[in-house]
Amino acid sequence: MARNILVVGELEGGELSSTTAELLALGTRLVDGGAVSVTLLGSGAGDAAGAAFAAGADNAYVSSDAGYDDFRSDQWVGAVEEAMGQSSPDAVFIAQSMAGRDLGPRLAFRNDTAVAMDCVSVEDDGGDLKATRSCYGGSAQATYSFATSPAVATIRAKSQDPLETPNDGGGNTVELSGAGDSRSEIVGREAAVSEGLQIQDAPIVVSGGRGLGDPEGFEVVEELAATIGTDKAAVGASRAAVDLGWYPTSQQVGLTGKVVTPDLYVAIAISGASQHMAGCSGSKTIVAINRDPEANIFTAARYGIVGDYKEVVPALIEAVKNLD
Amino acid sequence: MHLVVCAKQIPDPETPPAAFRIDEANNEVIPAQGIPPVLSQFDGMAAEAALRIVEAAGEGKITVISLGQESAQAAIKQVLAMGADEGILLEDEALQGGDSYTTARTLAAAIEHLGDVDAVFCGRQAADWDMGQVGLGIAELLGWPSAIIGKDAKVDDGSMVVERVTGDGFETVSMPMPAVVTISNEIGDPRYPKLQQIMQAARKTVTRLSADELGLDPSTVGDAGARLKLERLFIPVVEGEVELMEGETAEEQAQALAAALREAKIL
Ligand SMILES: Cc1cc2nc3c(=O)[nH]c(=O)nc-3n(C[C@H](O)[C@H](O)[C@H](O)COP(=O)(O)OP(=O)(O)OC[C@H]3O[C@@H](n4cnc5c(N)ncnc54)[C@H](O)[C@@H]3O)c2cc1C
Ligand SMILES: Nc1ncnc2c1ncn2[C@@H]1O[C@H](COP(=O)(O)O)[C@@H](O)[C@H]1O
């Protein structure tokens, strides 16, 4: 059954975000003869339409109004509503981003329909959409169907593959209105993010937990990352370590922190609670360093060392230096 | 000033993975033996945010509302012990088994029933289903503005000012009241009630309201009104087995690990 799909796009530095491309590819897999549309809002939106067509969109609803650059729920909901009015979607896909966490429920409730948050898959099951997401802190997974239309789903970053070969057919661009009123106003902002490689982008993430014992423990974690290479490895932390004030919130990995999917994830003095694993279980290879052989992290790890990190990590730094 | 805290009782999210079980036939979590349900962590933090506002203002009332079973009294009492003034338990056959939509609808109806509410505080997400939508749903149904994932909130000159966590730092948002705020763990640990407060809480009133008393048509709430249908609940299989590095010393183990990672072309 042909269905129309609307993807709420996001821009990063004026360019189509990689997650938007993933959502568009998901759209093309489920559209079944209908149309995949995308909304693009903010500076650079008009230029990003080309990238969206290549990533799978048939139609782009754009407004390059800089008023959309900062996410304000009221304005974005208004714009997406306008695009929904024109594209009559059967399903709306939104990234599980900071914007998407707000937009998903707002849009769904405004349209008298349901939203499934943070989905890792959406499938066509005999004509019905079924969305699967993790719950209970990552201990369980739940599959839902939608009793109302459109089905709204926010989708976890990197859970979907982008198109293998870009589309070259182009598409239609439709102008949306500029940003309307917002009841909320952003009155202050503070950047608190580490310089350089971000944990979501790093091919290797080395994380420390409460078992480090003190904030100084992160020094050896950072040294290990630096030895691997600052262009490859970034440093993350468990929530317990962040809550203790040992490491910045922006570096938290997990259910309520960031989701990372590196080639290598090294968990140092982290027990591997389900809520932590929710943020790193998509890693290709997990290495655990923990003095407790019973720690849950070893059930998810490919390689492990049972021992005191104070001895193991310095030794590992030396061993990495001596490779080649 | 009248603030509402929405508090949910959930299975303890710190239940060890080995004790976590699912009844796949009924798509339900089987309560772990000897581990009592708890107040969802972020809801205690939402209560903390509301209490700070009342303390700063030197006046104000806090009502805590929970939709759930009889046992949810415990969650309500916990927030009362922290310092909230009144409790409401929404417990009724017709209200059971809903989804985020029916939950938000029921809570919104209770908030409207109170009539004079200036702000609603919710957790960023309930730590059972991890949805993170009820607070926004209440805001949408009541037509109020909202700010999510707050680490602190204050009332300034009649506006609700929320410091919130973003992907790359913090942002301060100001909005007119009434408004909905959802709170995250960055606010810090909520206050721990003193014994005397726990005893006082035992005497505070908890009002019960039914779907009928809230003027809710039973077909729009609970299981009957749910729009998201749970088809399957299961425990994901983790594949593979860990290879523990052998060696007499940390050095030998570390060398074995580095070699294994090199062998696998990861390092
Ligand atoms: C709703 C909810 C959301 C949550 N969200 C997140 C989230 O996003 N991210 C997150 O990380 N957590 C999250 N948590 C918390 C999670 O449940 C755990 O409490 C947390 O991950 C524990 O952090 P940890 O592993 O660093 O600490 P612990 O569980 O205390 O583990 C410390 C580990 O260090 C080991 N250790 C101690 N000393 C040494 C040593 N010298 N050498 C080697 N090993 C040592 C111990 O054996 C232990 O395994 C959440 C919880 C809830 C309820
Ligand atoms: N049954 C409930 N009773 C009271 N508050 C609830 C209930 N369900 C959800 N909430 C509130 O809404 C927040 C988000 O829940 P959710 O959208 O289910 O993740 C929770 O942290 C609570 O503050």
| A282-301 confidence digits (pLDDT tens) | 999 999 999 999 999 999 99
How many CA atoms are closer than 13 Å to the CA of B168, on its beta-carbon side? 11
Q: Residue B256 Cα, ligand 2 centroid: separation in angstroms?
A: 48
> What's the average model confidence in pLDDT over A32-41?
97
Query: What's the Cα-to-Cα distance from B222 to each of A112, A266, B65, B98, rounded to whole Å?
Result: 16, 44, 16, 4
Residue B262 structural domain: 239-267
Nearest CA in chain A to B220: A112
Is any atom of ligand 2 closer than 6 Å to the C-beta of B149? no
Q: What local confidence, expressed as pLDDT, does residue A196 receive? A: 85
* Token representation of residue A210: 């409460």
Q: What local confidence, expressed as pLDDT, does residue B235 receive? A: 95
Q: Is residue B231 part of a domain?
A: no
What does A63-90 look like in DSSP terms, one character per residue? E--GGGSS--HHHHHHHHHHHHHHH--S
ipTM beyond 0.90? yes
C-beta separation of B59 from B84 below 8 A: no
Q: Please list every residue in chain B whose beta carbon sits closer than 8 Å to the beta carbon of residue A287.
A: 257, 261
Q: Quickly state the pLDDT bin for A99 (edges 50, 70, 90).
A: very high
**Residue pairs between chains A and B whose CB atoms are closer than 8 Å:** 236
Q: Is residue B232 part of a domain?
A: no
Same domain, B165 and B267: no
Same domain, B82 and B107: yes
Contact B20 A140 (CB under 8 A): yes
Nearest CA in chain B to A190: B170
Q: Is residue B109 part of a domain?
A: yes
Q: What phi and psi, each to the nearest 5 degrees, are found at residue A282?
A: -85, 5
Q: Quickly state the pLDDT bin for B238 (edges 50, 70, 90).
A: confident
Is any atom of ligand 1 closer than 6 Å to the C-beta of A256? yes
* pLDDT above 80 (res A22): yes
* pLDDT above 90 (res A192): no
Which residue carries 């993790």 as its tokens?
A134
Secondary structure element (H or E) that encloses residue A282, with its range: none
pLDDT single digits (tens) B154-177: 999 999 999 999 988 999 999 999
Same domain, B18 and B112: yes
Query: What's the Cα-to-Cα distance from B211 to each of A19, A90, B70, B75, B99, rounded to whole Å?
Result: 41, 32, 15, 20, 15
Same domain, B267 and B169: no
Contact B185 A239 (CB under 8 A): yes
For residue A117, the ligand closest to its alpha carbon is 2
Largest CA distance in chain A: 62
Largest CA distance in chain B: 71
Is pTM beyond 0.90 here? yes
Q: Quickly state the pLDDT bin for B192 (edges 50, 70, 90).
A: very high
Same domain, B13 and B38: yes
Q: Is residue B216 part of a domain?
A: yes
Q: What local confidence, expressed as pLDDT, does residue A265 receive? A: 98
Q: Which of B253, B262, B263, B265 to mutate to test the interface with A (most CBs of A within 10 A)?
A: B253
Q: Which of A70, A81, A102, A186 to mutate to test the interface with B (most CBs of B within 10 A)?
A: A102
Same domain, B188 and B265: no
CATH of the domain at B105: 3.40.50.620
Q: What local confidence, expressed as pLDDT, does residue B19 receive? A: 92
pLDDT single digits (tens) B18-34: 899 999 999 999 999 99
Q: Residue B128 Cα, ligand 1 centroid: separation in angstroms?
A: 18
> What's the average model confidence in pLDDT over A152-159?
96
Q: Is residue B234 part of a domain?
A: no
Q: Is residue B146 part of a domain?
A: yes
Q: Quickly state the pLDDT bin for A67 (edges 50, 70, 90).
A: very high
pLDDT single digits (tens) B87-135: 999 999 999 999 999 999 999 999 999 999 999 999 999 999 999 999 9
C-alpha to C-alpha distance for B32 and B19, rounded to whole angstroms: 6
End-to-end CA distance of chain B: 59
What domain count does chain B have? Answer: 2
Same domain, B11 and B135: yes
> What's the average model confidence in pLDDT over A130-140?
96
* pLDDT above 90 (res A194): no
Q: What local confidence, expressed as pLDDT, does residue A1 receive? A: 79
Same domain, B189 and B255: no
Q: What local confidence, expressed as pLDDT, does residue A238 receive? A: 98
Q: Is residue B31 part of a domain?
A: yes
Is any atom of ligand 1 closer than 6 Å to the C-beta of A290? yes
Same domain, B66 and B179: yes
Is any atom of ligand 2 closer than 6 Å to the C-beta of B129? yes
Same domain, B129 and B254: no
> What's the average model confidence in pLDDT over B235-264?
94
Helices in chain B by DSSP H: which ranges?
41-57, 73-82, 100-114, 134-142, 195-203, 222-225, 250-263
Same domain, B106 and B35: yes
* Token representation of residue B265: 């072309």
C-alpha to C-alpha distance for A38 and A35, rounded to whole angstroms: 10
Q: Please list every residue in chain A whose beta carbon sits closer than 8 Å to the beta carbon of residue B169.
A: 189-193, 250
Is any atom of ligand 1 closer than 6 Å to the C-beta of A239? yes
Same domain, B92 and B155: yes
> What's the average model confidence in pLDDT over A232-256?
96
Q: Is residue B33 part of a domain?
A: yes
* pLDDT above 80 (res A171): yes
